[in-house]
Structure 1
């Protein structure tokens, strides 16, 4: 094992050009826990971001260390403790920081989930701690992976004031809840809603509320809740017995969403006072999805003739084609200045994130270096970052962030739909 780790050290040496945050990890366990310790160590090394310095110690012996010349601005010391109960064939593991248990997990051969997921769960805590520090301090290169837990992590969104970052996760009891990351603190909390699963969280323009798709009443509805004291003030926005989903904000007092009908579905708007209006979408569309809004123009995914494309419903009621190639386009997101459209497309043989300049019509792939399906892009409020979900092989999706560099920023702006 030690010889393998030394080999990995030299392979990874060239990847470490600089570092901003350090992890000093002390692993403690019995001989019966050796396999888990070895697997945890391999997982940590293989997934370690290039901007992170790491020193791994097992039973007092350093088995891995990043190059000592790296510049570490802040360091965390963590202890991983694991025990094995042979009678139950059960591992019990915990992460300890500042003499307090900060995360615990367990695994038995009788569990339905695979052992590899347990290893990933053991691995996630220090990696997420480091990645959130990198995000908070803006200390990463082109891409930054935010989540490493084996759970589902997807549907990311930024608050307009840049304070919060939210996404959906099922790491709490296997139920999908909204995870809320305070960007200034680098701390994450989960907002469980009793009796419900949540999807598609979206911040209001003032950053004080979240709209989301939930199952609080037994089927999909659209709800709005404040961030402060959220569970006491959840408001039902949609109406009727047909599923409602894919909410987004039209303005501070109005939400747009999709609701199923007997044969198709339709776009609706609803005020916080629950005045609901069906929006006029041409009958040429078999179905519509994923509305997002910029200054009164509603961008949406439209399905017609078995083809998915992105369209815009302008304030004057006309529908404009934005992107409808031979391939399927999904998940529209508009940059804060209204110039760029980010979306997912399978033109490369799998789904990647693309950006289109709505002024110049130029478009390019921004996740070409990530050889896995990517969906659900979301711009940061300053337009410099795009968050998205990556689906790696058989693993559940994780949240990534990329730096966005406009390819056409030096070109003269024309006009976007609805401008």
Structure 2
């Protein structure tokens, strides 16, 4: 009998210790590549992984967020923007990991942009001396931690130096609208070249949309991201002829935050939350599958006090209760005595902008439970099913009742009033 029972027990023990296969990561940000290694930001920390993919190694563990990592051209350092000690500044660490060294002490955010070719200075953008907080300027800071030096351009948000360090391609306007798909307006992003020795400037692109994230290659081309064909992809600009050609052909999602290796042979970038690598010689792209051990602490269930997240509110006609939205749900709370009521129970939606009718019977509010933000009506006690009042697909704001509680006034994101 023992022999019969022993085999099932051993099978169960063996199964219980089988390693769990983790799925490839998503939402990895700001990749850079050097020497066959890719560094990226994930869950606010820096990680490094072989360019072929595999299991990533965590480089930083600070509670603050680390982002925008950039390898030095000699591969010895990684510069990054760290949200430490209440500020957002430039730091460097050895490329194999180690103690961060702070290089800037900015009153405003310092965003790492790149390096000088000699690996002695880190380029960053900041609005520390800009005439408006909306604009940023370009600076460089020594790895020895000396005072930053402003680069000789009026303003800029992104930049890449030529291999000899004599010229710089940069974006003048701020990166405020890089995520605004197919934006065309006065703040569209174009590429400019500055001759740092002669002090002359040349506008490289004049597309009415966004040309951004420039990278100066070693093959006589400047690589950049453009949405000129609808979907943002990588393009190249030939310095000798001025011709522009499309390099990647992603159709489902935009190419974001690309970065070139020091030898100019590879570009890594984000697409659909995944990391990709482009071979600039063959123009072949391939996804980099990444696994990372971790506790996924950002995704863990936690109890949150909704009082810290109160949005809009309204008072009942008798001034005995208050209706408010907090973390996407509606609550009715007493002014002095009574119970707190959670009025809505739907999970995967956001409810906001509550308005109490003058007769006290109804509460109007905005919800995206159907996929679009529409106005709904419900009993002030939360009883029964809500009634949908609009079906326009526009954002609704500032709900206001008529005195007789029979009509609602509101405005939409296209600056129209509706009754």
The normalised TM-score by structure 2 is: 0.50
The structure with more radius of gyration: 2
More strand by share: 1
